[in-house]
């Protein structure tokens, strides 16, 4: 037999996912000698054997790799053979430039679960049980390559039994970096409300008892603390809401099994798949009438509830002992980043939590739960964080230089573009305070370290006052590239789907700074990465009081009415205005009528605010998008009908004019139509107007790919109606990247890279 040699380099998410043991077994099965090692680029194999054995080994590599791994590239080169018959796994070393190899955190696998419930097993009820198929990864990684000493597990030395598992290539825990057991690994400590240790025989049972007694317990999870309470207790949920000052935002509810999820909500097969996916996101589903969940979980008449399945052994054990669904909401004060450290938790969550369940395995990277829902038959990410981060998004056009894109203002994430990959960072939140900015800077620095990259281009939003813009401008690194908000949204969809452009991009959101300094948000763009042309927009609404109009959408409702009824709107017959102070009403009316210079907004979200406020009689919005969301869920699915609209071609770009729809909706309402009917017709009208503009553009540009992007396309009804209006055209939605501002940074990175190429590099 002729011996041959091959060097095989595998790139992708191949570390920390049981990859090397799988290769080791494959090599043994095929009688291959040689070695495999992790390095900062991925995994490198030197394989020696007969050519048929090597071929079958290579086939195996392309076959069925471990479930959590993701192979992006396999390179194979002949090398001189060595007479080795042994196949060994060599320790990690660092070489070359990293293409990130740290996998996302993985939910507890079935094998580990059966161990923690088995009284005969040495890991019975052990909250930190994991193996190569499951457990923490990104959130404990400190350095690359991903190896135990480069994680927050470095201070725990394995006992003889754990070490034997770790060293045995045939074991499920072979090179499982966070491997641990009760004898050698992290341990739980219960703390009182003031942070003093309390002595409970079994901390998990103790915490479960506290939860059953309507108390609030702060539980240290994978990527941060959760605030937990009994989701079936109105007293507990109301108490948490009051203490957390979380006004009216819904709380996520965690259950242990998919069957329990199905008992609380109507779960479709697609939603079931999403709940069970390895990313374990919070999934928005329709709550059942008699679910038993406290109504305060999702107040405000919200028919949806965010459910998620337990994803750590600690969650499983706590839920099993509490024997009820638990609220698991981010452990933070309103608008601050999620809390990670034990001392920080006690300091910042004092006054909210009645007790703490902490442990001594530090969280290195803050990483909130991800949020997803099913839209138009497929998954749509509302927040891409734990479970997805730091997995690379492959891009079609490689980045000519490393790019850092700083994202937007709300729901911020950043993105690093490197070679053929884009790395979206974890959810940071609204960049409204110093704590969030610090979290942003820390997360950017860490991702740059993991990727060994120094950005040469720094992309940011066009808005001069966004904190992310100021950060970018003040950064001493790289060339700065300002990217228009909606251009970035469309580019994000293009990058996600590997489209080179041009495309027709519909970008609908609340607001984004336009090139003319006004607030855009109802945009149809003919888009390339390098440039865009604005083909149509929405008629502008004057915002009386600027941002005050967003908190008090009755001002937007009034602006829509004044615009649509030049003869004077029938305010006295619309119940909304009975709830508005007369003095304020008069002042805003005067501003609107007397040509007072007001900021003008074109965001589709603003129309949702205005219509929702008007027909749901809700003058105020407690948080961003609250009334708009209520207007979406109010729509009666059984209803047909549509309102008239116009397109104003006397202006450039042409404007979709919804004044006829405002008039028709008011008449509908005055003749007794329900808000559900009006909302459904409003959606239909907007969708038809949108489809008409896109079709008109397509006749001019030829059959181009269409993409729907921006936060408004988280709305399933709007999305489905627009898709239906565009039947026959090629239309794509976001699937792996959020359509809202959480996906903005990817588009910024792609635009910045293209503009750098245009100008011949930096």
Query: Binding mask 714-733 vs Zn ion (x if CB under 5 A, - otherwise)?
Result: --------------------
User: Among residues 125 and 239, whose Cβ is nearest to Zn ion?
Assistant: 125
Contact pick of 109, 345, 346, 558 for Zn ion (by CB under 5 A) = 109
Q: Decide if 254 contacts 322 (C-beta within 8 A).
A: no
Name the minimum Å distance from CB 184 to Zn ion. Answer: 3
- Reduced 3-state DSSP string for 490-537: HHHHHHHHCCCCCEEEEEEEEEEECCCCCEEEEEEEEECCCCEEEEEE
Name the minimum Å distance from CB 257 to Zn ion. Answer: 17
User: Among residues 173 and 366, whose Cβ is nearest to Zn ion?
Assistant: 173
Query: Binding mask 506-525 vs Zn ion (x if CB under 5 A, - otherwise)?
Result: ---x--x-------------
Name the minimum Å distance from CB 734 to Zn ion. Answer: 12
Question: Is residue 741 close enough to count as binding Zn ion by CB under 5 A?
Answer: yes
User: Among residues 311 and 682, whose Cβ is nearest to Zn ion?
Assistant: 311
Segment interacting with Zn ion (CB under 5 A) among 73-81, 189-197, 505-513, 613-621: 505-513
User: Among residues 532 and 615, whose Cβ is nearest to Zn ion?
Assistant: 532
Name the minimum Å distance from CB 485 to Zn ion. Answer: 6
Q: What 3-state DSSP class applies to 162?
A: helix
Rounded CA-CA distance 601/513 in Å is: 10
Segment interacting with Zn ion (CB under 5 A) among 109-117, 562-570, 626-634, 671-679: 109-117
Segment interacting with Zn ion (CB under 5 A) among 177-185, 317-325, 566-574, 659-667: 177-185
The residues, any chain, with a CB within 8 Å of residue 464's CB and separated by 6 or more, are 513
**Tokens at residue 710, please?**
């921006």
Alpha helices (H) in 452-484, listed in sequence order: 467-474
Name the minimum Å distance from CB 401 to Zn ion. Answer: 26
The footprint of Zn ion on residues 343-382 (CB under 5 A) is none
Question: Is residue 584 close enough to count as binding Zn ion by CB under 5 A?
Answer: no
Name the minimum Å distance from CB 102 to Zn ion. Answer: 18
Question: Is residue 181 close enough to count as binding Zn ion by CB under 5 A?
Answer: yes
Q: What 3-state DSSP class applies to 734?
A: coil
User: Among residues 147 and 741, whose Cβ is nearest to Zn ion?
Assistant: 741
User: Among residues 184 and 585, whose Cβ is nearest to Zn ion?
Assistant: 184
Number of other CB atoms surrounding residue 314 within 10 Å? 25
Segment interacting with Zn ion (CB under 5 A) among 179-187, 250-258, 613-621, 637-645: 179-187
User: Among residues 107 and 206, whose Cβ is nearest to Zn ion?
Assistant: 107
User: Among residues 162 and 472, whose Cβ is nearest to Zn ion?
Assistant: 162
Q: Which of 230, 206, 225, 249 is nearest to 323 (CA)?
A: 230
Contact pick of 184, 198, 258, 304 for Zn ion (by CB under 5 A) = 184
Q: What 3-state DSSP class applies to 190?
A: strand
Q: Which of 428, 419, 474 is nearest to 738 (CA)?
A: 428
Number of residues that bind Zn ion (CB under 5 A): 13
Question: Is residue 234 close enough to count as binding Zn ion by CB under 5 A?
Answer: no
Question: Is residue 707 close enough to count as binding Zn ion by CB under 5 A?
Answer: no
List the helix and strand counts (H, then E) for the chain: 22, 29
Q: How far is CA 188 from the centre of its chain?
A: 29
Q: Decide if 250 contacts 298 (C-beta within 8 A).
A: yes
The footprint of Zn ion on residues 117-176 (CB under 5 A) is 131, 133-134, 159, 162
Number of other CB atoms surrounding residue 261 within 10 Å? 24
Rounded CA-CA distance 83/48 in Å is: 8
Beta bridge partners of 692: none
Contact pick of 88, 164, 183, 235 for Zn ion (by CB under 5 A) = 183
Name the minimum Å distance from CB 183 to Zn ion. Answer: 5
User: Among residues 186 and 417, whose Cβ is nearest to Zn ion?
Assistant: 186
Name the minimum Å distance from CB 93 to Zn ion. Answer: 26
Rounded CA-CA distance 108/338 in Å is: 22
**Tokens at residue 518, please?**
């006004």
Residue in the structure block whose two tokens are 């052994």: 313
User: Among residues 98 and 491, whose Cβ is nearest to Zn ion?
Assistant: 491
Q: Decide if 428 contacts 445 (C-beta within 8 A).
A: no
Q: Decide if 154 contacts 362 (C-beta within 8 A).
A: no
Contact pick of 112, 405, 439, 731 for Zn ion (by CB under 5 A) = 112
Number of other CB atoms surrounding residue 339 within 10 Å? 26
The 8-class DSSP code of residue 623 comes to S
Name the minimum Å distance from CB 213 to Zn ion. Answer: 32
Name the minimum Å distance from CB 381 to Zn ion. Answer: 15
Query: Binding mask 75-104 vs Zn ion (x if CB under 5 A, - otherwise)?
Result: ------------------------------
How many CA atoms are closer than 13 Å to the CA of 49, on its beta-carbon side?
24
Segment interacting with Zn ion (CB under 5 A) among 31-39, 338-346, 502-510, 745-753: 502-510
| Size of the chain, expressed as the number of residues it contains | 762
Q: What 3-state DSSP class applies to 168?
A: coil
Name the minimum Å distance from CB 624 to Zn ion. Answer: 11
695 burial (CB, 10 Å; 0-12 / 13-18 / 19+) is: middle
Name the minimum Å distance from CB 319 to Zn ion. Answer: 18
Segment interacting with Zn ion (CB under 5 A) among 23-31, 105-113, 145-153, 307-315: 105-113
Name the minimum Å distance from CB 435 to Zn ion. Answer: 23
DSSP string of 23-73?
A: HHHHHHHTT-EEEEEEETTEEEEEEEE-HHHHHHHHHHHHS---TT-EEEE
Positions touching Zn ion (CB under 5 A) are: 109, 112, 131, 133-134, 159, 162, 181, 183-184, 509, 512, 741
């Amino acid at each position: 037999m002729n011996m041959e040699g091959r060097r095989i380099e595998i790139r992708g998410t191949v570390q920390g996912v049981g990859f090397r043991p799988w290769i080791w077994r494959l090599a043994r099965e095929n009688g291959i000698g040689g070695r495999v090692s992790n390095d900062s680029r991925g995994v490198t194999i030197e394989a020696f054997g007969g050519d048929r054995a090597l071929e079958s080994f290579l086939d195996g590599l392309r076959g069925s790799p471990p479930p959590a791994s993701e192979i992006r590239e396999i390179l194979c080169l002949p090398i001189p053979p060595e007479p080795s018959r042994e196949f060994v796994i060599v320790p990690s070393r660092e070489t070359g430039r990293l293409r990130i190899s740290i996998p996302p955190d993985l939910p507890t696998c079935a094998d580990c679960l059966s161990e923690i419930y088995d009284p005969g097993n040495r890991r019975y009820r052990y909250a930190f049980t994991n193996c190569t198929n499951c457990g923490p990864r990104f959130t404990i990684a400190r350095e690359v390559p991903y190896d135990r000493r480069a994680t927050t597990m470095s201070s725990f030395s394995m006992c003889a039994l754990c070490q034997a598992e770790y060293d045995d290539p045939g074991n499920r825990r072979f090179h499982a970096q966070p491997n641990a057991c009760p004898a050698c690994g992290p341990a739980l400590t219960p703390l009182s409300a003031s942070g003093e240790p309390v002595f409970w025989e079994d901390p998990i049972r103790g915490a479960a008892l506290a939860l059953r007694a309507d108390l609030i317990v702060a539980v240290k999870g994978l990527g941060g603390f959760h605030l937990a309470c009994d989701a079936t207790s109105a007293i507990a949920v109301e108490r948490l809401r009051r203490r957390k000052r979380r006004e009216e935002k819904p709380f996520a509810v965690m259950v242990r099994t998919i069957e329990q999820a199905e008992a609380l909500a109507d779960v479709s097969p697609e939603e079931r798949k999403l709940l069970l996916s390895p990313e374990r996101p919070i999934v928005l589903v329709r709550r059942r009438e008699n679910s038993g969940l406290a109504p305060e979980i999702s107040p405000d008449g919200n028919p949806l509830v965010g459910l998620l399945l337990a994803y750590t052994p600690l969650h499983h054990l706590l839920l099993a002992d509490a024997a009820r669904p638990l609220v698991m909401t981010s452990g933070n004060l309103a608008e601050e980043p999620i809390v990670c450290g034990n001392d920080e938790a006690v300091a910042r969550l004092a006054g909210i939590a009645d007790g703490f369940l902490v442990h001594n395995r530090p969280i290195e990277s803050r990483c909130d739960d991800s949020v997803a829902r099913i839209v138009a038959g497929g998954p749509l990410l509302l927040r891409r964080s734990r479970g997805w981060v730091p997995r690379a998004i492959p891009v079609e056009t490689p980045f000519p230089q490393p790019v850092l894109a700083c994202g937007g203002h709300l729901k911020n994430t950043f993105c690093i573009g490197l070679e053929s990959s884009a790395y979206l960072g974890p959810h940071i939140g609204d960049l409204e305070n110093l704590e969030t900015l610090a979290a942003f800077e820390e997360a950017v620095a860490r991702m740059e370290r993991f990727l060994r990259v120094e950005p040469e281009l720094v992309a940011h939003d066009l808005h001069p006052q966004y904190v992310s813009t100021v950060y970018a401008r003040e950064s001493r690194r790289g060339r700065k590239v300002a990217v228009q908000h909606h251009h970035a949204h469309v580019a994000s969809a293009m990058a996600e789907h590997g489209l080179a452009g041009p495309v027709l991009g519909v970008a609908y959101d609340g607001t984004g700074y336009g090139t003319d300094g006004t607030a855009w948000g109802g945009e149809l763009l003919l888009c390339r990465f390098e440039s865009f042309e604005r083909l149509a927009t929405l008629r502008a609404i004057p915002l009386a009081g600027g941002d005050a109009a967003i908190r008090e959408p009755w001002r937007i409702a009034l602006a829509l009415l004044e615009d649509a009824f030049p003869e004077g709107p029938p305010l006295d017959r619309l119940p909304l205005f009975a709830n508005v102070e007369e003095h304020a009403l008069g002042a805003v009316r005067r501003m609107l009528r007397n040509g007072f210079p007001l900021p003008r907004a074109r965001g589709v979200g603003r129309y949702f605010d205005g219509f929702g406020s008007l027909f749901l009689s809700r003058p105020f919005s407690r948080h961003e998008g609250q009334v708009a969301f209520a207007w979406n869920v109010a729509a009666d699915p059984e209803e047909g009908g549509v309102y008239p609209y116009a397109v104003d071609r006397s202006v450039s770009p042409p404007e979709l004019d919804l004044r006829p729809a405002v008039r028709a909706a008011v008449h509908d309402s005055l003749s007794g139509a329900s808000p559900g009917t009006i909302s459904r017709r409003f959606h239909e009208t907007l969708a038809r107007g949108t489809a008409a503009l896109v079709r008109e553009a397509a006749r001019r540009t030829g059959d181009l790919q269409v993409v729907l992007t921006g936060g408004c396309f988280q709305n399933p009804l709007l999305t489905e109606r627009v898709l239906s209006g565009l039947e026959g055209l090629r239309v794509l939605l976001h699937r792996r990247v959020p359509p809202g501002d959480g996906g903005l940074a990817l588009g910024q990175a792609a635009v910045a890279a293209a503009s750098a190429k245009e100008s011949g590099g930096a």
